[in-house]
Chains A and B, each alone.
Chain A
Amino acid sequence: MADVAEATERTPVSTIEKPQDIPAEWQPNVLAFACHYCAFAAADLAGVMRLSYPPNVKIIRLPCTGKLDHIHVLRAFERGIDGVFVAG
């Protein structure tokens, strides 16, 4: 931890990459991992009840959220997914 703090101290502010401006119409691409038995069922129910939510989320069904692996989350970010939602 000390090393990190030191390194941060020594880095001139100007070299830190500035966060890009977010275009007004930009929408994050969100991926959800959902348990077949609960969260996936809840997503179905949202549809049955015609509840409206933003369309920029897609769901990958898992037999149990216990099945979720670090690689899945890392791969999603690596490929440009903006947000990962795990529900179960």
Chain B
Amino acid sequence: MSLLSNSTKRGSVLIVGGGIGGMQAALDLADSGFKVHMVQRDPSIGGTMVMLDKTFPTGDCAMCMISPKMVEAGRHLNIDVHTLAEVSSVEGDAGDFRVKVKVAPRYVDADKCTGCGDCEVKCPKKVSSEFDQNLGQRKAVYSLFPQAVPNTRAIDASQCLCLNDPDRKRCRLCEKACKAGAINYADKGKEIELNVGSIILSPGLDRYDARARQELGLGRWQNVVSSIQFERILSASGPYKGEVKRPSDGRHPKKVAWIQCVGSRDNHNANPWCSSVCCMYATKQSIIAKEHDKNIEPTVFYMEMRAFGKDFDKYVERAKKEYGVRYQRAMVSAVREEPGTGDLVMKYAAEDGTLVTENFDMVVLSVGFQPHCDAEQFAKTFGIETNEYLFAKTSPFTPVKTSREGVFVTGIYQGPKDIPETVIQGSAVAGSVMALLAEARGTETVEKELPPEKDVTGEEARIGVFVCHCGTNISSTVNIDEVVNAVKDQPGVAYVTNTIYACAQDNQDMIKQTIKEQNLNRVVIASCTPRTHEKLFQETIREAGLNKYLFDLADIREQCSWCHKGQNEVATKKAIGIVKMSVAKSRLQEPLQSETVGVTPSCLVIGGGIAGMTSALSLADQGFPVYVIEKDNELGGLVKNVHRTLEGLDVQEFLKDRIEAVKEHPKITVHTGVEVKKTDGFVGNFKTLLTDGSTVDHGAVILATGGVEYEPTEYLYGQSPNVVTQRQLEKRIAEGEMPKSGERYVMIQCVGSREEPNQYCSRICCQDAVKNAIAIKERNPGAEVMILYRDVRTYGLREDYYKKARDLGVIFTRYDVDRKPRVEPAGSRVNVRTWDYMLNKELSLDADWLVLSTGLRPHPSTDRVGEMYKVTRNPDGYFLEAHVKLRPVDFPSEGLFVAGLGHAPKNIDETIAQALAASGRAGVVLSHEKLAVSGIIAKHKRELCMSCLSCFRVCPFGSPYIAEDGKISHNEVKCMGCGICAGICPAKAFQVNNFRDDQILAMIDAAAESEPGVVN
């Protein structure tokens, strides 16, 4: 990349795939000065996550989390979303790619379509819904799901009656229904050419087609469903509206079985890898099913419970103890239907070997992930190498880089992973692209030019009310004329009119014109939900010279006409009430100014391990000065003791290279033997005092404080020279020790992990054991290795090495936490006794080496650093991120980011991805000269404040603080506008802009005056 001259680099990026990983990358890049083109095969962005009901381990609603991100991506001035589109060719090199994109015909003009859905209502052709996994139906003109972005219907050409008539004469009902004239049967699609600096691949996944496993009965027995079908069954917006029932007869099932590893960890007609998420989603589905219907008795049939992520083991424990989920360790060989009942009969071997036959009402197959069906062609198009399984080829040290310079990868195309890991990689590719295209930042983005804002302070309210028909969506239920008449005499209302589609371009122009002609200083639009349309209308009135906060949206569609169809009279009354409430609020609206604060464009990185160094290098390559502080006297962190990765790469060589790069980088200043002494400030403006007396001004901070290995006290460690840790064994192997024939190594897993008080998986130990076991066997097949495990958690593509170890003759024997191995000295060896569940008897082994797989702990400095930066730790002592799914490297307070073992145990490749993600997220902050503070924040009146500290205690963002005079002050830059302070403040010293008490009270009064709808 250094060979490229500045002028050749483009400031734009192509993102192929609009799932959560692609969206994260798109938003990070577009928010930091890069133009983004997003190409998506489906008619909507969203990917797999939008199909999910809830997410583990918090039970958060998937759609509620992803929908705001989709809306943001869809509306972003610097993100162009091309749906129904695929890349056909790529030419050029890093910094300057030329890409051809084929866009399939949509048959609906996106510029005219308002998303009202009238066409869909009239369409007579019903089709099985692929989004609902064929459990429900959609129309031939459809949107993929209710919250689709763009909110434009598409016609399915294979199903449309008109498009399948050569004369185009049949049907045409959607054309007649569309008041906006958006239907275009003659659409031919198009080809577009893009010129971009970098390419990000996030094409997502396919699921294993479990019909290939006929013995499990999918597609054969109606009450056998795939896990993604069950996800749709659980979804409140799914085909059964969240009611758990059997497809065959609609009966509520009682006994439900999940069968794990369907299509995964299986070389025959399936995929050899572990899909990484199924254990957890089955646990989630069984918990949620039970929450939907307490009579359900879930059983999960599994081989190994791979709850390796943050708080996953606790989640499984909760499933067992609080929800009574039964976990049965068994492989199910066949599922049969009991004739006449629709019930399913399963046979499996119990742990003691006896064959059990059990009946279930419903069976869910936990299907795994695989690369998209056209992955091979996809790789060819982009000119990248794949691994043998057709996942994009990456290295553990460069986990988001493909074989082609300038082409990056995120999500499951890189290997099976869950949502937060995909989001982490999304920000990681964004960080990598920011570094690659640093000098082109800001060259292709656009900013909107706006007229000066009209000063309306002191003016009496002149409210303009626009009541929208939304085609017939509102007007077929709500009498628009009655609404117009009812509000025209309301105090403050200067002008009322109706519009067919308030959001259509011509009507937007009309609204702007009317604001000027009628000299309006407040606007109320009565149409749809503020969640999707508020920003659009705020921009409209801003373009007409009004402050954007002088606007309110009265939702008379989602919350009125659509819910009260056929009850026209009462719906109209309700709509009148809703509009009057908005008008009452609008009268009290004030123009709000968004404050801005300057940004110090540099970053402090706390921790000089592999996470801290990776973040530092990426940010420095982006052009920002970075200060790395390391409490030890040298850089390197915990990785100093690791010699090889599971894949066999040389870690020490890599570490040496990184340390040199950090030391040599002109933008990086390293302080070793130093810690943070004191810190103050907020996003964009931190000031940190170090223990060596120096002070650092920085705009962002990355906490990469790292972890330590647990030092065991059990199993004779420290008492017998034959007992070592995996790390010590690794060192001996690296130093050339040759195992002798007949020498016996016994390894014990989960030492110091997955047990109170450390009820979590340390994630790395299974692989450490497999890695060392393979090394021993490869050096001398005559040496004996036995691994005593609880669950072998070689997730993802790491499963290959588990298989390799078994093939090399490594023996895996399970132990139970209630029956842990017992170890005693035995002359020059140690004796290990463990219960063998296959043989049903105790084994007694004399081992030459007893190797303990010790877990990880957060670094002891984590608490201190956390307290200084006011970020919380979870009960295990790890930093608690802002949101476990969608904000995995952020903290609730802006400008602070986390990477590495301080967040949770993880592998080197995952640490590097998270460190790159932190640099991407920090890059978003640092790329701004100024940061705008939202207008919707809490305002603090010091003269009313009694400094009772209630706000100080409850604020999740730390924005109220104790000022030098000992009284409370409020840092508006940190405020997110939730108003919890306003709710708790006894003196009412806090008021949230646009949600002030007087405004809410005015709305209450208006609601009380309006009649309740009388139900017919």
Contacts and interface: CB of A to CB of B under 8 A. Distances in A.
A29 B1013 CA distance: 8
A23 to B, nearest CB: 11
B531 A36 contact: yes
Nearest to A68: B983
B64 A44 contact: no
Interface stretch (B441-449, B658-666, B824-832, B1003-1011): B1003-1011
Contacts of B571: 55
A59 B559 contact: yes
Contacts of B61: 38
Contact of A29 (B567, B936, B992, B1008): B1008
Nearest to A46: B563
B560 A48 contact: no
Interface in B976-998: 977-980, 982-984, 992, 995, 997
Interface string B554-570: 01011111111101001
Interface in B562-596: 562-565, 567, 570-571, 573-574, 577-578, 581
Interface string A16-44: 00000000010111110000111011011
Nearest to A55: B1013
Contact of A66 (B555, B563, B570, B983): B983
B1015 A55 contact: yes
Contacts of A87: none
Contacts of A36: 531
B966 interface: no
Interface centre among B236, B570, B936, B1000 (most CB of A within 10 A): B1000
A41 to B, nearest CB: 6
B278 to A, nearest CB: 28
Contact of A45 (B68, B146, B555, B1001): B146
A47 B1013 contact: no
Contacts of A44: 529, 531, 555, 558-559
B530 interface: yes
B147 interface: yes
Contact of B562 (A27, A50, A67): A50
B1000 A27 contact: no
B1004 A53 contact: no
B530 to A, nearest CB: 7
B1001 A55 contact: no
B129 interface: no
A79 B997 CA distance: 16
A88 to B, nearest CB: 11
A52 interface: yes
A36 to B, nearest CB: 7
A54 interface: yes
A56 B978 contact: no
Nearest to A73: B1004
Contacts of B581: 58, 60
A55 B574 contact: yes
A69 interface: yes
Nearest to B562: A47
Interface string B665-676: 000000000000
Interface residues of A, number: 44
Interface residues of B, number: 57
A40 B530 CA distance: 10
Given A66-B980, A72-B1000, A49 B1008 contact: no
A55 B574 CA distance: 7
Contact of A81 (B558, B561, B995, B1008): B1008
A47 B1004 CA distance: 23
Contact of A75 (B555, B977, B1004): B1004
Nearest to A51: B563
Contact of B1015 (A54, A62, A69): A54
Contacts of B146: 45, 48-49
B1004 A76 contact: yes
Interface string B502-544: 0000000000000000000000000001110000000000000
B64 A37 contact: yes
A68 B236 CA distance: 27
Contacts of A82: 1012
Interface in B252-268: none
B732 interface: no
B1013 A56 contact: yes
A64 B1013 contact: no
A71 interface: yes
A29 B977 contact: no
B1014 interface: yes
Nearest to B581: A58
Contact of A40 (B531, B574, B1008): B531
Contacts of A29: 1007-1008, 1010-1012
Contacts of B574: 55-56, 58
B188 interface: no
A52 B558 contact: no
B640 interface: no
A33 to B, nearest CB: 9
B992 A60 contact: no
Given A63-B979, A71-B1001, A30 B1012 contact: yes
Interface of A: 25, 27-31, 36-38, 40-41, 43-56, 58-64, 66-69, 71-72, 75-76, 79-82
Given A27-B1015, A59-B555, 19 more contacts: A27-B1013, A31-B1007, A40-B531, A45-B237, A47-B559, A49-B236, A49-B241, A51-B241, A54-B1013, A55-B564, A56-B1015, A58-B574, A58-B577, A58-B1010, A61-B530, A64-B979, A66-B978, A69-B983, A72-B1000
14 contacts: A29-B1011, A37-B68, A38-B61, A41-B531, A47-B529, A47-B558, A49-B237, A49-B241, A52-B563, A53-B563, A55-B560, A55-B573, A67-B980, A79-B1005
